Amino acid sequence: MYRLANSVRPYAWGSVTALPQLLGVEPSGEPQAEMWMGAHPGAPSHTEAGPLNEVIDAAPEALLGEAAVAKFGPRLPFLLKLLAAGAPLSLQVHPDLDQARAGFAEEERRGVPLDAPHRNYKDANHKPELLCALTPFDGLCGFREPAAAAELIAGLGVDSLKPYVDLLRAHPEEAALREVLTAVLGADREEMAATVTEAAAAAERLGGDYAPYATLAHHYPGDPGVLAGMLLNHVTLQPGEALYLGAGIPHAYLDGLGVEIMANSDNVLRCGLTPKHIDIPELLRIVRFQAGEAGVLRPEAGPDGEEVYATPIEEFRLSRFVLSEDGAARDLATALPQILLCTAGRVQVGELALGPGESAFVTPGEAAEVSGDGTLFRATVVA
């Protein structure tokens, strides 16, 4: 078992206060966006034996277990994070596994440098992810029904948006969503900026359901992603609720603190709300133009008080335990690798005492008796 020392990523959209408040430290005055826990080479957790990725590389079967290595190879297949959004993240989608493999191979064939700003595929893996709220958490996730999107956009009273409203009302679902997103992202930038500015003023005036889009426009003036965002479901997660984001689902996190887990990948195709590269043809190939509700997840009760967030993929499995001092200790030993993260109270994991924001990597087969008075998240794999 290893206590983890984890680095914080200072992305501009990060909250100045949320992570320091959880960790019980003074804010630095700078954004603190993500705390990474795992073996991603970009910011691996550190252990007393060295960086976790190097520790795993030295003895993968001992650190990951035979079953995990056989299924996923000699690397930890997930990355766990604390994510603290103080401003909206980019509107984005992720490819499925076949798309990622093909896209990566094609860019390799064309000799596109891995660090090129216009590179779409940084690796050959997919990036499903799950976000569990620790505080009320705002986000955009998946397409609204076209009729509902048409009503929302029409309510702004902006003449230049009427063609989009007509498209949403007149076409079959997939065609309507595809045509409107294509038109918004492909429009003349200056004309679209003027439309977004007018729409933002109306959203500011109307408030209510329009307030999230006024906020987007405040952070990204004139960005077509503001209008693209109006095609999506707005959702506010309550603590303990979660969103699962599979391949092709457009989404953006807006505000709040949560635990995020994902497959180990950097593959992102952006739709807007960003100054970064947007590859519209490739984006439109990856997006799944299917409308429906955002699909809020609530944990399912398992044995010994474990609450599991069920997802359809195998690279990660996230669950939590809400522990109390008068409860019996539980042994979480398993033949799989796991990261245990405390998010509230004090939790004892074997000989390690964990407070909020502290975590441990537990190797396969190792005794991991947990007790205490607090909340503990458990990240592992399905193998």
Where does residue 295 rank: exposed (0-12), middle (13-18), buried (19+ CB within 10 A)?
A: middle
Report H helices in 171-286.
Answer: 173-186, 189-206, 211-219, 225-229, 280-286
Nearest to 168 by CA among 176, 178, 160, 159: 176
Nearest to 328 by CA among 361, 303, 311, 356: 303
Other beta carbons less than 10 A from residue 163's beta carbon: 12
DSSP string, 16-59: SSHHHHHHT----SS-B-EEEES--TTS--EETTEEHHHHHHHS
Give kind and range of the element (H or E) at residue 63.
helix 60-64
d(CA 117, CA 114) in angstroms, rounded, equals 9
Asked if residues 278 and 172 have their Cβ atoms less than 8 Å apart, the reply is no
Q: Is position 169 annotated as part of the catalytic site?
A: no
* Strand, coil or helix: 164: helix
Catalytic-labelled residue, pool 119, 144, 270, 320: 270
Token pair listed for 312:
């359809």
- Helix, strand, coil fractions of the chain, as percent rounded to 5: 30, 30, 40
Other beta carbons less than 10 A from residue 314's beta carbon: 16
State how far the alpha carbon of 260 is from the alpha carbons of 4, 22, 147, 192, 313, in Å.
17, 15, 32, 33, 15
Backbone angles phi and psi of 350, in degrees to 5: 60, -125
State how far the alpha carbon of 208 is from the alpha carbons of 101, 152, 186, in Å.
42, 11, 29
* Strand, coil or helix: 197: helix
| Catalytic residue ranges | 270
